[in-house]
Structure 1
Amino acid sequence: MKAVIYARYSSDNQREESITAQIRACTEYAERNGHSIIKIYTDEAKSAQTDDRPGFLKMMSEIKGNLVKPDFLIVHKIDRFARNRYDSAFYKRELRKAGVLVQSVLEHLDDSPESIILESVLEGMAEYYSKNLAREVMKGMRETALKAKHTGGLPPLGFDVDKDKNYIINESEAPAVRMIFEMRDAGHGYNSIRDALHKHGYKTKLGKPFGKNSLHEILRNKKYIGTYVFNRSASKTPDGKRNNHLSKSPEEVIEIPNAIPAIIPENLFWRVQNKMNQNKKLRSTGGHKAKVVYLLSGLIWCGECGKRMVGSSSTYKTRVTRETRQRYYYLCNNADRTKTCINKKINKRTIEEYVINKLKQGIFSEEAMTGLAEKLYTHYSNIKKETAGEGDYLKKELDKVDRQIKNIVDAIAEGTVVIRAFAEKLKSLENEKTTLESRYQEWLIKQQEQIVSKEKILEVLNTYRQALNSDDPLVVKQVIERFVKDVKINTDTIEVNLMVSVHTTGGGGGS
């Protein structure tokens, strides 16, 4: 069997040797399981909270494009793959389509239903860890912000930061900021402002030509009138994207007037804001229609012909007001394209509510969650017992490396070898020992601490239950994809198969 390795370390684990240790552990895991490694992908100092990881995206592209054809993707731990459950579900589904299974060295999960759900629990815990870490980091940043000091990153155009993290004016960049505001106040558009900046040789903070987005950010930034602002931009969406034009609620934002040097007068800033707001209203056409999310896409199948069912829609006019409205449903792909299937389309809202109710009854009722937590904990305990031998293996390897180091040191001390000839070998053995010690300590912690308890599993299941009631359809879809294996629509029955059965059958019922 062929396999690829993915390894990364993030900004909260700034150890370059972490990559080496992960690759070594993954390689040994592959050898023990008879897999041959065909390629290794890495990302250094990248968070798994989003998919903005060049090595990871290259790996996905090459697998989907059949440039590499592995049977397995090996990671050191589940959280090396993704700490965001939405991304994790999406990419694992893409890998399954390509015939690739994800395997973790430290979490020995198989393809059983229990392992699939346990993996969701572990990913939920990893995401909790990541968000908790971000929250702790935010606490420290807020303390810095309350003193109106720079909290990190690149300061805005026109500002520098001194050794005490205070904002100071960059006199070579400030004229560009004043030109941008004065031209916008005089009625010039973005293109005209951009051309004028280029003509005068002005660049962005990164030394690049100005674009419309960079101009917009500058024109909206209150720091230019001396108001310190922190935590303004809205949080990322479930798919890891951020819209810097959106702001958080006022109570979450820290604003301190007259806290830093001003580059432009306040009256100029507010005139520009009024003009921008008026233009925004003029451009508004009543808002964009929200994109319809089909919660069961990829999971719903025709029980009559076995083909996939797809989301579709049609328009109709109301009888009284003759208002045009949209009707949404799922229909058999075969019936729609070839007319060879007798199955009828089914109302989108009806079937989605039916599936959600099945989940609430079969997995997310109090009784079902208690039973599932018990089942998952037993499964996890069995996995933990199976990995107990990993400590013996690591201790044996450590003893072997220690003996080799001792032999070389003794030989050097006795003068029977040339130091230069063995220096490189000694350095290599010391590096190997460091890696093994790190892995052994990680194994010890894993054995000694109760990483997964029944209570922790119930906590994670509760977060999924709450997510199932979310107003965000993407969040609901994520839960459905985690816990529903498939949905089969027959002409007179509906069958919902859950990933794992607890005290119910996991099956469906009549339509």
Structure 2
Amino acid sequence: MKKKAAIYARVSTDRQEYQRQIKELQSFAERSNMEVKYVFEEKQSGFNSERPEYNKLMALTKEDIDIVLLWELSRLSRKSIEIQSDIEKLTSKGINVYIHNKSLYTLDEQGNINPTTKLIISIVATIAEDEVRTSKQRSKSARQQYIINEGRSYTSHAPYGYTLKNKKLFINEKEANLVRRVYQLCIDGYSIYGIAVLLNSEGLRTRANVLWTQATINSMFKNTVYIGKPKYCISSVRRTSKVFTRQYSRKVLEYVTLDRPELAIISEAIYDKAAEERKKRRHRSLAIDIQPYLLQHLFKCPDCNRYYTFDRTTKRQKYKCARKYDKTVEKPTCQSPALERERVEFMIWESVKYYCIETMANTRKEEQQLPLLEEIDALKAKIENIDNMKQKIVKKAEIIVTAAIDLKIHYSNMPELYNKKMEEVDKLNKEAIKLDYERKRYKSQIENAKSQIDAINNVKDMSQYLKDVDFDTKYNLLHEVVDVILPYGTKDNCFLLEVRLKTGLKYYIGYYPIRAYYIQFLPSKGNYFVGEERSGYLEIINAKSCEHISLETEMKKYTIVEYINQMDIPANRYPALPYRLKKRDKFLKDMLQGYSKEQLLEMLQ
């Protein structure tokens, strides 16, 4: 009976070919009376653990295959500890592994682990990983020598103002003239934003034929290559966040400043003068007594996720999305509205007072605390799981240390084997450190949840401070309570504000600027708003079901205008700014419905 086999072939780059590996292994399988059921082939680095074909191979069971055929051990992985772990996983399933270039099997004919083979695999894997590291270091060292001593380009992408030819940088005079102009504009008093707007208004574009932005201009001011002293990174570390499929952002640990006077586009005096001017403008606002706006960093655009800025230039000062009105952005993608300052500040302050004191403190405490308590329980479970994982790592490290001691005793003439095993222990220690970091992070989240519970319990004590408070007190209280405010608007001059408090409570404010009142209400299972759709949903009784006296319900979708109009009932109405309450206001009559004169005067105090 033929044995079922799987072939795994891997190369690191597109320039390498794995067809020869597959053909050789297929020939071996045919000679050994094996039937190849699976062929896994991929072009991925052995240091990358996220390999689709590799994951498929490791998911196979004894029912699927009897043996895995490898061209060489490093095809499975480049990391010694991962190779040994993968071999152990496969053999524990009863799957044999054959390494072609060493003619080694991990299991004998009876299906037992071969201890000699296991030791050889450990040694070969460790040596292979060390060879890769050495090769990379030699290649990196040679490249650095070419760049530092022979004048090669320090970057594979030429900065603006330069052209890359034959791995060397040359000044591009057309672009260099624009670089000189940008620096001169800065010295003449233009801000970074002003420079970007000026270049775009003249129809000038970047090398990629897109609009100039503040970030692009700012990077030009920070690049020392323009004075003939480029900074070349010689040491960096990969960040944890992945940017692209096979590219990661890196943090520079060490760099050298190269001396390339032939690359100088501007003088050091101009570079320093521009830096001095930018520094002056950065601190210019400190000399002017400008009061911060009340809802600073609370409004956030639901489309581009940027905080609102404050426009003091118009008669009616407004909050508005920073990106929507940014002239350095080619096409605004957000639909967020500009909001009149006085009106929204009044509504937010009054609604926060109402919900924080009356609703939250009296009737919704337990309801708000419940999800926080559940979150704390979930985080504690994660911490317990981390503790279990750490115990496993400690046990694994103990096993490796024992193996290292045995190697030192029986192979005293090969001290490098002992050292490699201890390096594996160091890696496990690093994993344990990462788990400790995760544990601390979860602990911090638990403390944060507990502080939210404390905020809910203590919010009733704030009531004594909310009468006749000054601006600073209002500002501090709002920023302690409000997490974010998401504004939505329509062409009909109708607005909906989604207010989220740090205690977890969420509510809505709807208003028309021409009306003498606004509405505010809480969401529920049968009443909620979906920001991505810009639509509100209300639970209504199905009209057809009424004929059979059956109260079946359905969720009906409404536009922003329709949703606000549906919720515009006397119970949800609150008076707007006092100065808008005039007899000639045609909506005053509607606003007064449901309120006595005494109640209205009390609310306006």
What's the TM-score once normalised by structure 1's chain length?
A: 0.47
What's the TM-score once normalised by structure 2's chain length?
A: 0.40
- The structure with higher relative contact order (CA 8 Å, sep 6+) is 1
Larger Rg: 2
Query: Which one has a larger percent strand, Structure 1 or Structure 2?
Result: 2
